């Protein structure tokens, strides 16, 4: 096994190094051509958190494979473990901290094992604290340092990886992004975040916004179309602010970036997110159909949701009728303390405009309960908001203080028991709303992209069933009976039953 001389790490003790595997003796005339045999490490990437992390992990896996490494079946058989962390909630970090003991013992048993920790838990200037929190880790990489992974492990010199430039576009062109899913692909368009939501660690861990060049994104989208991907999800912490940091380009002189909320940016001469959507959607086949049939994006900040974007969503046939638009709270005072930069009424007006422009639009959201200063009345306003907006789905979590964020200086004054109570109340309310919203779809036909087999029946503990599952354009989960050959296809499904979290239907003409 090739040892990993992580550049800023001491090498493991010599006795622990396993001898490199040697080939069987070469014939005498070939001796001079034989190089030292090197067995590259088997790696395992443990990914937590959001789609951005999953996309980053695909890129790191691709770089490791390009360097000659192979993927292990799991953590237990890996020589190199990469942990792509999430810091949005304390529980996600605790999950990783909880593994430190096991990893420490594994390293005692095999001193050549290397552990790399990356993702949002790694921020500048806290290496000592990181080492205390994650003692089994050999190398910490900030998200913007992930492209250094192969080089920092000392693997680049052994193979072609050192010639692999770190730009994503080149990595994609070199086939060095190891996509996990053959049907749906992630496509990052902007890194970092310029917002200042007081509870959020992302601006600290991922830095300011950096948009990928317009032509690079289009080229990657085209290559995904060539590979037959049915669905592409554009990724960014805030995709809506795409483009404002790119250099001026005469092609985009007419682009106006007027926002509904907050200050407007002068985008004149730069592409905005709406222009990008139109550019990808404009890649058509001979019959005029979008080469990528389904285009999605996450996440959107309401501040940057422009009229231009709403128009693009309405006019581009590939853009799915679904928007994930985090509200976080239904109370203006809480939103102000969260630094969210909009009021509840401005948000609701946006949703109304969206639904008027795209009648089939489904809207999902994020909510944090128990944020600093959230009173019973403020929480009730969040419940009222859910009842009036009627989201398809709500991702809710109890507030947990993230060290280093502005909210860490606010009193965490909602007791844990009240946070739990509010979370349960909110989820119970949303379950009823989800059921009612889904019930309205019974008897209708939706296009479902079949993604795979569902192996457990509702309730999870009864007899497993073999049933296909997929998503409609509104991102609703749909179960249906049918042959496995349908996986990867878009098929019409007549909805027969509805639950709060999924629909059930059958294939129709």
Q: State the nearest-atom distance from the C-beta of 197 to ligand SF4, in Å.
A: 3
Identify the residue among 40, 156, 202, 363 touching ligand SF4 (CB under 6 A). Answer: 202
Q: Residue 354: phi, psi to the nearest 5?
A: -60, -45
Residues 6+ apart with CB under 8 A from 148: 141, 166
Residue 500: helix, strand or coil by DSSP? coil
User: Which residue in the block uniquely carries the two structure tokens 């209708």?
Assistant: 444
Q: Which is nearer to ligand SF4, 178 or 195 (CB)?
A: 195
Q: State the nearest-atom distance from the C-beta of 109 to ligand SF4, in Å.
A: 39
Q: State the nearest-atom distance from the C-beta of 235 to ligand SF4, in Å.
A: 12
User: Which residue in the block uniquely carries the two structure tokens 């939103």?
Assistant: 335
Q: State the nearest-atom distance from the C-beta of 36 to ligand SF4, in Å.
A: 46
Q: State the nearest-atom distance from the C-beta of 431 to ligand SF4, in Å.
A: 25
476 binds ligand SF4 (CB under 6 A): no
Residue span 146-185 as binding mask against ligand SF4, x where in contact by CB under 6 A, dash where not: ----------------------------------------
Q: State the nearest-atom distance from the C-beta of 301 to ligand SF4, in Å.
A: 5
278 binds ligand SF4 (CB under 6 A): no
Q: Residue 497: phi, psi to the nearest 5?
A: -140, 160
User: Which residue in the block uniquely carries the two structure tokens 């959107």?
Assistant: 300
241 binds ligand SF4 (CB under 6 A): no
CA distance 155 to 53: 23
Judged by CB under 6 A, the stretch of 196-204, 308-316, 446-454, 482-490 that binds ligand SF4 is: 196-204
Q: Residue 204: phi, psi to the nearest 5?
A: -80, -40
Interface size with ligand SF4, residues (CB under 6 A):
9
How would you label 405-427 residue by residue, b for 16+ Cβ within 10 Å and e otherwise?
bbbeebebebeeebbebbbeebe
301 binds ligand SF4 (CB under 6 A): yes
203 binds ligand SF4 (CB under 6 A): yes
User: Which residue in the block uniquely carries the two structure tokens 């009823």?
Assistant: 432
Q: Which pair of structure tokens corresponds to residue 203?
A: 């601006």
DSSP, res 17: P
CA distance 4 to 163: 19
Residues 6+ apart with CB under 8 A from 321: 313, 358, 360, 361, 362, 473, 474
Identify the residue among 65, 82, 193, 477 touching ligand SF4 (CB under 6 A). Answer: 193
Identify the residue among 153, 200, 313, 449 touching ligand SF4 (CB under 6 A). Answer: 200
Residue ranges in contact with ligand SF4 by CB under 6 A: 193, 195, 197, 200, 202-203, 237-238, 301
């Amino acid at each position: 096994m090739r040892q990993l001389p992580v550049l800023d790490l001491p090498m493991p003790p010599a006795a622990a190094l396993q001898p490199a595997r040697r080939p069987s003796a070469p014939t005498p005339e070939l001796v001079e051509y034989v190089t030292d045999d090197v067995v590259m490490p088997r790696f395992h990437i443990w990914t937590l958190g959001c789609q951005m992390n999953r996309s980053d992990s695909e890129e790191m896996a691709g770089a490791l494979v390009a360097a000659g490494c192979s993927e292990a079946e799991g953590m237990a058989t890996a020589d190199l473990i990469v942990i792509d962390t999430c810091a949005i909630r304390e529980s996600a970090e605790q999950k990783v901290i909880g593994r430190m003991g096991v990893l420490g013992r594994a390293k005692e048993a095999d001193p050549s094992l290397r552990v790399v920790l990356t993702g949002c838990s790694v921020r500048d200037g806290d290496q000592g604290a990181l080492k205390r929190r994650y003692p089994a880790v050999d190398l910490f990489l900030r998200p913007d340092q992930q492209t250094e992974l192969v080089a920092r492990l000392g693997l680049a010199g052994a193979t072609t990886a050192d010639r692999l430039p770190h730009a994503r576009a080149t990595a994609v062109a070199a086939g060095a992004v190891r996509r996990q899913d053959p049907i749906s692909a992630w496509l990052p368009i902007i890194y970092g975040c310029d917002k200042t939501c007081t509870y959020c660690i992302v601006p600290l861990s991922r830095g300011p916004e950096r948009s990928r060049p317009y032509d690079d994104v289009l080229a990657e989208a085209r290559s995904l179309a060539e590979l037959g991907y049915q669905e592409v999800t554009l990724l960014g912490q805030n995709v809506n602010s795409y483009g404002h940091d790119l250099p001026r380009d005469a092609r985009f002189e007419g682009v106006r970036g007027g926002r509904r909320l907050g200050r407007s940016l002068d985008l004149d001469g730069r592409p905005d997110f709406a222009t990008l959507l139109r550019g990808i959607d404009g890649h058509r086949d001979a019959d005029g159909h979008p080469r990528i049939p389904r285009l999605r994006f996450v996440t959107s900040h309401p501040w940057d949701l422009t009229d231009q974007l709403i128009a693009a969503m309405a006019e581009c046939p590939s853009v799915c009728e679904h928007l994930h638009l985090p509200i976080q709270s239904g109370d203006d005072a809480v939103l102000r303390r969260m630094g969210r930069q909009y009021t509840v009424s401005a948000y609701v007006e946006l949703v109304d405009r969206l639904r008027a422009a795209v009648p089939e639009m489904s809207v999902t959201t994020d909510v944090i309960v128990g944020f600093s200063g959230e009173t019973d009345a403020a929480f009730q306003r969040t419940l009222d908001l859910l009842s009036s907006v009627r989201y398809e789905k709500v991702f809710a979590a109890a507030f947990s203080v993230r060290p280093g964020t502005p909210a860490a200086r606010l009193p965490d004054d909602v007791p844990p028991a009240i946070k739990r109570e509010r979370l349960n109340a909110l989820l119970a309310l949303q379950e009823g709303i989800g059921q009612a919203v889904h019930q309205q779809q019974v008897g209708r036909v939706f296009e479902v992209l079949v993604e795979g087999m569902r192996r457990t029946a509702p309730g999870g503990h009864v007899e497993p069933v073999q049933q296909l599952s997929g998503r409609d354009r509104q991102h609703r989960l749909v179960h249906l009976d049918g042959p496995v050959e349908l996986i990867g296809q878009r098929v019409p499904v007549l909805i027969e039953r509805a639950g709060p979290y999924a629909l059930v239907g059958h294939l129709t003409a």
